[in-house]
Amino acid sequence: MIDDLGEEVRLRKTPERVVSLVPCLTEALEASRPGLLVGVTDYCTHPADLPVERVGGSKYPDVERVRAIRPDLVLANSEENRPEDVGRLRADGIPVWVMEAPATVPAALGSLRRLLTQAFGLAEPDWLVQAEELWAEVPPVERTVIVPVWRKPWVVLGRDTFGGDVLRRLGFAHAYADHRERYPRPKLEELRGRFQAGEASLLVLPDEPWKFTHEDGPDAFPGVPYALVSGRHLTWYGPSLLEAHEALNRALRG
């Protein structure tokens, strides 16, 4: 097996004990083949109350705890997980499949299909086929948005991000889509200036990784229209995409 980054994944058998270090991969695997997961991160919230061991955060998992679980396979992501942790696990002979941080919805679903069908020998799940059909269209741009994902300092969606492509497939461009960085850190004055110049007309505030609320986020942009959205719907790739299409449309146009 070869993962998204071109690294060999030496599987002795079809995995039966899996640790996931990525919340959306946890949800996707459990929805496709329940019972394989034996360890997940503290941030793996879907499905709720998954009865498996918790191994810490995605950025800083407890590698010793992962080792002790003795998984057949660990699932990771090139953006969420540190290469040094992946390297430590591989050095101990634990296979790790690293999924590349996807830039588009089709890329994410294609990578998930390859993981599920090749590593686990599954038929492509119905939810994946439905998600591909639901998100296939790219409608004309209705308005331009700015999407902060962090505060202190301000960090926004930039080029080649999954969340940016999700918005584009709903008819929303985002102001930093052509920025050289995937997650630019503009000053607050620059962000406000974009709205004042008419370069953006809607502030989109997800509830993760920074938990923006009506009281935390809009206060920095007086008079700017804003929409609070689910971070899971905006940035997770997997079964959540089925509900995300309607939920985001409702939040952005409500």
Closest by alpha carbon to 227, among 211, 206, 242? 206
> β-pairing, 148-150 with 155-156?
antiparallel
pLDDT category at 15 given cuts 50, 70, 90 is very high
Please tell me the distance from the alpha carbon of residue 222 to that of residue 188, in angstroms, as a whole number.
12
**75-94: string of b/e by CB count within 10 Å (b at 16+)?**
bbbeebbeeebbebbbeeeb
Query: Quick check: 17 and 35 in contact, CB under 8 A?
Result: no
Residue 41 amino acid letter: T
pLDDT of 233 > 90? The answer is: yes
Over residues 193-205, mean pLDDT: 98
At residue 254, the pLDDT reads 83
- Report pLDDT digits (tens) over 168-193: 999 999 999 999 999 999 999 999 99
Q: What percent of the chain has a predicted confidence (pLDDT) above 70?
A: 100
pLDDT category at 85 given cuts 50, 70, 90 is very high
Over residues 148-175, mean pLDDT: 98
Asked whether the bond before 153 is cis by omega within 30 degrees of 0, the reply is: yes
At residue 34, the pLDDT reads 96
CATH numbers and ranges of domains, the chain: 18-133 (3.40.50.1980), 143-253 (3.40.50.1980)
Please tell me the distance from the alpha carbon of residue 178 to that of residue 156, in angstroms, as a whole number.
12
pLDDT category at 243 given cuts 50, 70, 90 is very high
**DSSP single-letter state for residue 12:** S
At residue 41, the pLDDT reads 97
Q: What is the 3-state secondary structure (H, E, C) of 136-196?
A: CCCCCCCEEEECEEECCCCEECCCCCHHHHHHHCCCEEECCCCCCCCCCCCCHHHHHHHHH
pLDDT category at 96 given cuts 50, 70, 90 is very high
> β-pairing, 96-99 with 73-77?
parallel
pLDDT of 97 > 90? The answer is: yes
pLDDT averaged over the chain?
96
At residue 58, the pLDDT reads 87
Can you tell me which residue has the tokens 């990784």? 209
pLDDT category at 49 given cuts 50, 70, 90 is confident
Please tell me the distance from the alpha carbon of residue 155 to that of residue 134, in angstroms, as a whole number.
29
Over residues 143-163, mean pLDDT: 97
